[in-house]
Amino acid sequence: MHRLTDEYEALRKSVEEFSREVVAPVIGDYYERCAFPYDIVAQMGRMGLFGLPIPEEHGGMGGDYFALCLALEELARVDSSVAITLEAAVSLGAMPIHRYGTDAQKAEWLPRLTSGETLGAFGLTEPGGGSDVPGGMRTTATLDGGEWVINGSKAFITNSGTDITGFVAVAAITGHREPGEDGRARPEISTIIVPSGTPGFAVSKKYSKVGWSASDTRELSFTDCRVPEAGLLGERGRGYAQFLRTLDEGRVAIAALSVGLAQGCVDECLRYVRERRAFGQEIGRYQAIQFKIADMEVRTHTARLAYYHAAEKMLAGEPFKKEAAIAKLVSSNAAMDNARDATQIFGGYGFMNEFPVGRFYRDAKILEIGEGTSEVQRMLIARQLGLPA
Ligand SMILES: Cc1cc2nc3c(=O)[nH]c(=O)nc-3n(C[C@H](O)[C@H](O)[C@H](O)COP(=O)(O)OP(=O)(O)OC[C@H]3O[C@@H](n4cnc5c(N)ncnc54)[C@H](O)[C@@H]3O)c2cc1C
């Protein structure tokens, strides 16, 4: 997989062109207005990007998850708000329906999700904690008269409040299991599909964020929110296993997105250092600058290999939890370090919103937090090495 097949390369190239020709000229304006780029999303939908890893029978492109990763990398080379909108819509919105949904749920949602006409969101994190799930989970769902009654709240949920959001898949406590060997009762967690506009489901106004400013992130609350029993996604009590799998895949996708941002920093710097002059020559002639760019390239290259490797194991059906965590950790570090160095190379212009590196700087930090913090990745790697929990 380290050498892309003709099919992967054609996809990569078409998203590269789209990013450069369609996204790049306009995204800065959306970003400054904190506006969701509906027209760009619609064009991505027409290109089939929202259905890349979904079978054709459900309106998808019949590709695989690595194809999605390549598209995310190319989008994030130019802009991360657009990339995270696609990542969350596919990885957290469509994939759980594709993987765990009933035939009726697939028929209802997948054609709209794969066309990009509708976005699905995934509500796991709560105001009381994102790393410690299920310890920090308080949202409950109880069965009453053939309906789930949901109470609780969710924090930081991507794509949950746009005009085209169709549903949020909400992880909730639906009961308690027998105590384990340690004598502690464990919650039974299930995932329930809550369509937008359901009474009792309230979406707050958008957060004011440090980065990803043209993406949609909201806090959600559920007050005696009733949905039909058939809204259960997959088996009752399998919610924990479902989101572990969803997050393992998602980490490979976030790694790809991080590599895109890291590569975008290299691209921008290579252009700039040939134009900008100081002390009588182009700054690209100074070894201090060249070494910075060389280090940026090294980080990007190694991070890309890490996510390619994780994706290869995933697609081969082999265990990939450790490789996904390594890829996410390495590539988010690369994005953060490259964004800092690129901003430094741009000097004062690096601090101006009109240059993409300013956006890269603001967008890089969340990559070390979302879909599992860097500390959580280290915990996962340690567990995979057999170290005690
Ligand atoms: C823009 C944005 C979009 C997001 N989108 C979504 C989404 O679509 N769906 C969703 O469900 N969530 C989403 N999230 C939530 C995200 O996944 C969480 O923020 C993340 O998992 C961290 O959880 P937390 O913020 O509660 O931090 P906490 O869990 O409170 O962690 C705080 C700090 O403590 C550290 N820490 C925690 N436990 C340990 C430990 N045992 N050892 C060492 N250090 C530890 C953490 O690493 C972190 O540094 C999003 C967040 C943001 C900011």
If you write DSSP's letter for every residue of 117-155 in order, what string do you get?
SSEEEEE--BTTBSSSTTTT---EEEEETTEEEEEEEEE
Catalytic residue (one of 21, 235, 371, 375) = 371
Mutate to test the pocket of ligand 1, among 90, 91, 125, 167 (most ligand atoms within 8 A of CB): 125
348 CB-side CA count, 13 A? 0
- Point out the ligand 1 atom lying closest to the alpha carbon of residue 373: 47
Distance of CA 275 to the CA centre of its chain: 34
The Å distance, Cα 368 to ligand 1 centre, comes to: 9
**pLDDT given at position 271:** 98
- Point out the ligand 1 atom lying closest to the alpha carbon of residue 122: 9
Each residue's pLDDT tens digit, 243-252: 999 999 999 9
Cα separation, 173 vs 170, in Å, equals 10
CB 295 within 8 A of CB 334: no
Cα separation, 141 vs 138, in Å, equals 10
* 3-state DSSP assignment of residue 226: strand
Cα separation, 128 vs 120, in Å, equals 23
Mutate to test the pocket of ligand 1, among 86, 92, 131, 170 (most ligand atoms within 8 A of CB): 131
Phi, psi (degrees; rounded to nearest 5) at 194: -115, 110
Known catalytic residue at 371: yes
**pLDDT given at position 209:** 97
* 3-state DSSP assignment of residue 193: strand
For the chain, the maximum distance between any two Cα atoms, rounded to a whole number of angstroms, is 79
Cα separation, 345 vs 95, in Å, equals 39
Residues of the chain with pLDDT under 50: none
CB 49 within 8 A of CB 71: yes
List the residue whose alpha carbon is closest to atom 48 of ligand 1: 373
- Point out the ligand 1 atom lying closest to the alpha carbon of residue 132: 29
Count of H helices and E strands in the chain? Answer: 12, 10
**pLDDT given at position 1:** 63
**pLDDT given at position 272:** 98
Q: Which two tokens stand for residue 34?
A: 């904190």
Cα separation, 270 vs 253, in Å, equals 26
Cα separation, 31 vs 344, in Å, equals 21
Q: How far is CA 315 from CA 65, 78, 89, 257, 319, in A?
A: 8, 27, 20, 18, 10
Q: Which residues' Cβ are closer than 6 Å to ligand 1?
A: 88, 92, 121-125, 129-132, 156-158, 209, 212, 217, 366, 369-373, 375-376
* 3-state DSSP assignment of residue 63: coil
Domains of the chain: 6-118 (1.10.540.10), 121-237 (2.40.110.10), 241-384 (1.20.140.10)
In 81-105, which positions are buried (b, 16+ CB within 10 angstroms) versus exposed (e)? bbbbbbbbbbbbbbbbbbebbeeeb
Cα separation, 311 vs 320, in Å, equals 8
List the residue whose alpha carbon is closest to atom 32 of ligand 1: 131
Residue located via tokens 């296993």: 241
The Å distance, Cα 51 to ligand 1 centre, comes to: 27
